[in-house]
Structure 1
């Protein structure tokens, strides 16, 4: 059986960006909904980040990096959670900071949501390249097959 080859860097980048856009859309719906219902920015952005991070792992793992089967905990899941935690802290931190900075301005509900959402999206854009590099070079760097693929041979 021939070894599974990883897609080239630009293809992986495009695919990771596409899956990240989907995850961002999920996060956006979650963030805006929670802010609309009156959640504090720190809680809303944290829940929104997690809501997008979970499907993003499975989609990007399969599509961008060509991994199948059960993800190994030690070599993929734990490093992924580490990378995601760092990028999540950046997004949540920026949104929380924006919440604190806009609090004295007494912005109306919709304007405040737009400001916080813009900051949340900016945080995603800023950390995407860093996240991609860490995932590509740290989490999914090995060309080893997953457990499911190994068990079939």
Structure 2
């Protein structure tokens, strides 16, 4: 009865939904790649064609892709929490993005595909920044960030 009605800017809501869908799609893609890698590579030649690195590094990269997929799923959950007015969602996205950046750097350091690795590094850095900017849209002179609990 005493709770005020909160309303976010429509661009904010649309951006949050788009981010959540992107996180989920990236998560499915990365988990699919790791599943394919686990079941599809019986020879060193196949591993080198797909991942561009030595066969003895396949386990590291498969686990890295799986971890990245899980972290992007966590980002989707965090974004859903923000849609449900929970400030905790932003901190979940920030933490998962930092962990994803660390995994990206480890994979790059160990000889991963440079263009993909750099793209995921940039995405891990920009993700919480874009989310923060989306939360700054104002509706009735209050930002979405101030309305989160």
Question: Which one scores higher on RCO, CA 8 angstroms, separation ≥ 6?
Answer: 1
| TM-score, with structure 1 as normaliser | 0.31
